[in-house]
Amino acid sequence: MKTLKSTLLALLVVSVFSCSKDDDSPNPDNHAPESFNLITVPDGTTDVDLNPTFSWEPAIDPDGDAVSYDVYLGTENPPITAVASGLSDITYTPQENLNPGTTYYWAVMAKDGNQGETLSNVATFTTLEQQPIVLSCNAFKSNNDDAILLLENRINGVDYIIDCITSVEVDLKIEPGVEIEFTDATGMKIREEGSISAIGSQSEPIIFTAATKTKGAWKGIISYSQSVKNRFDYVTMEYAGDGGLSGNGELGSLILRPGVYFRLNNVTIKNGLNNGISSTWYNYDVEINNCTITGCDMPIYADANVASHISGGDFTGNNTDAIRLDSDAGPRKMSTSQTWTALNVPYRMGSTLVIEDGAVFTIQPGVIVEFEDGKGIIIDKGGDDGSAISAEGTPENPIVFTGVTKSPGAWETISVRRTSSVQNKIDNVLIEYAGGAGAGGAIEMWVDPVLTVTNTTFKDIDACALYNRYGPTNPNLTENNNTLVNVNGGYMCND
């Protein structure tokens, strides 16, 4: 088989490239065109454009016959495929691009129309590796008739370069394996009318990276979009977080504005200058599942209502390994029932957590909640006296309420106010470093709320363990088997 193939190839080459210059020619009175040289693309050239123009010297015919040319081009040496025939010009440009990073061979046959043929030398060249596409700043604008809707995985390495702050006003999809490189101080804004769906795979992640491999080299991505199409799966963001994408001072590699819908699964955010994710507004529909955020200032800074939608993942290796949360008595209060699951870093309250309107705040065993100085938790009636805190740990896996500052009175209190819910339970919990900011106790009770406190340790408290406001006792309190360690005010106090 191998010998037969070689024989056929040799016969074909001889047939194609033989010249008629001797008396054995079918037309002995005719003289073939004189020899000539190839000009471009020269022999041995590298990094040749994917759509080159080939040129050669004119072949002079001794008989004055008109000369035409056939061009042979291919990856075999010698090339045996004619890609153009009967040309009168001494140039040729392929109709389709050549393959990137490929070695080619080419030659030209001059013909005089009377069976006289002369073959040029054979030249070889290598095309350049395919280059990234620099996307225009209006590439994803809705008023652009040529707006890009799909970014394809074109080559190994960087597929696209963004050199401005680009706005996405269309439904943009990104294929697995795509790598987008941002030049310094650039970024991406997902506008209200647009969306982004970047769904990679474990073997082909989508990468958003920087041309300069330093923290904060590019600004990051900010989304204003409430579209259910917003999704990142197996996406890596790196070297972002420079800030300045909005006028509100949010800092993060990925910034989510009020009301945004986003699903983040198996996303890695690393080496960001500031927060990995910033979502500090309200009315979010966001899920963060099995994500890794490392090498940033802090992994996540969010509205406290986002916390119940974080599961799994790894948030270590940052300047501060904690999920920082904000709350208030307005749109960021907890007004729907939520559950916090144990992560490999603490939840950190940057403001007092407010639970109202019948919301039940469930904390699973092993959760650590730490409070910045003077902050705490308020459980109050609002529009429904069914509001509750259900913090039930286990002896092997207790729940911990602690302070960022490890000293008595660093944070305020857990204030259980006008609530009649039997779900108010604190069991197998460690409460430490509370009792500051004028609090009467680590746990305060207002207006006789229903509350059970059992198997709980109060440690390093700069007040009482339990404090009853507006009455000497709380008839709705059930307490048992609690432990005090360095509690300045004693076990039970009141106004």
Q: What is the pLDDT of residues 350-363, one digit of tens each?
A: 999 999 999 999 99
Q: 476 with 465, same domain?
A: yes
pTM assigned to the model: 0.81
Question: For residues 204 and 200, what is the distance between their CA atoms, to the nearest angstrom?
Answer: 6
For residues 121 and 66, state if they share a domain: yes
Quote the number of domains for the chain. Answer: 3
Task: Give yes or no: residues 284 and 354 share one domain.
Answer: no
Q: Which of 326, 360, 389 is the last residue of a domain?
A: 326
Asked whether residue 10 is assigned to any structural domain, the reply reads: no
Residues 21, 103 within the same domain: yes
CB 271 within 8 A of CB 248: no
Taking residue 50's Cβ as centre, other Cβ atoms within 10 Å add up to 17
In a domain, 98, yes or no: yes
Hey, what's the torsion of the CAs at 280, 281, 285, 289, to 10 degrees?
Answer: 0
Quote the CA–CA distance of 239 and 207 in Å, as a whole number.
11
CA distance 234 to 203: 9
Name which of 467, 461, 462, 463 is nearest 494 in CA terms: 467
Q: Which residues of the chain have pLDDT under 70?
A: 1-26
Please check whether residue 308 lies inside any domain of the structure. Answer: yes
Alpha carbon 338 to chain centroid distance?
27
Q: List, in sequence order, every residue forming a beta bridge with 21; answer none if it has no partner.
A: none
Would you state the pLDDT for residue 7? 33
∠ Cα 41 46 47 (to 5°): 100
| Final residue belonging to a domain, choices 295, 326, 357 | 326
CA atoms within 13 A on the CB side of 379: 33
How far is 433 from 435, CA to CA, in rounded Å?
Answer: 7
Residue 3 lies in a domain: no
CA distance linking residue 110 with residue 121, whole number of Å = 12
274: buried, middle or exposed (CB in 10 Å: 19+, 13-18, 0-12)?
A: buried
Whether 262 and 137 map to the same domain: the answer is yes
* Residue 42: predicted pLDDT: 97
* Tokens of residue 356, six digits: 């109202």
pLDDT at res. 167: 98
CATH number of the domain at 31, please: 2.60.40.10
Domain shared by 421 and 481, yes or no: yes
Please, which residues bridge with residue 402 across strands? 370
Same domain, 55 and 151: no
Of 260, 294, 326, which closes a domain? 326
Question: Is residue 227 one of the residues assigned to a domain?
Answer: yes
Instruction: Decide if 9 is inside a domain.
Output: no
The amino acid at 261: Y
Count Cβ atoms within 10 A of the Cβ of residue 494 and give its class: 0-12 exposed, 13-18 middle, 19 or more buried.
middle
Q: What is the pLDDT of residue 4?
A: 28
**Do 145 and 199 belong together in one domain?**
yes
Could you tell me if residue 435 is inside a domain?
A: yes
Question: Does one domain contain both 289 and 331?
Answer: no
- 60 and 165 part of one domain: no
Containing structural domain, residue 184: 131-326
Cα separation, 60 vs 399, in Å, equals 94
Cα-based distances in Å from 7 to 2, 19, 43, 77, 390:
9, 20, 27, 15, 85
Question: Does 117 share its domain with 149?
Answer: no
Question: Residue 228 class from Cβ within 10 Å (0-12 exposed, 13-18 middle, 19+ buried)?
Answer: exposed
C-alpha–C-alpha distance, residues 488 and 495, integer Å: 16
In the sheet with 492-494, reading across from the earlier edge strand, the strands are 353-355, 377-379, 414-416, 441-446, 464-469, 492-494
The predicted pLDDT at position 26 comes to 63
Q: Left if phi > 0, otherwise alpha if psi is -120 to 50, otherwise beta: which for 26?
A: alpha
Is 277 a member of any domain?
Answer: yes
Residues 277 and 343 in one domain: no
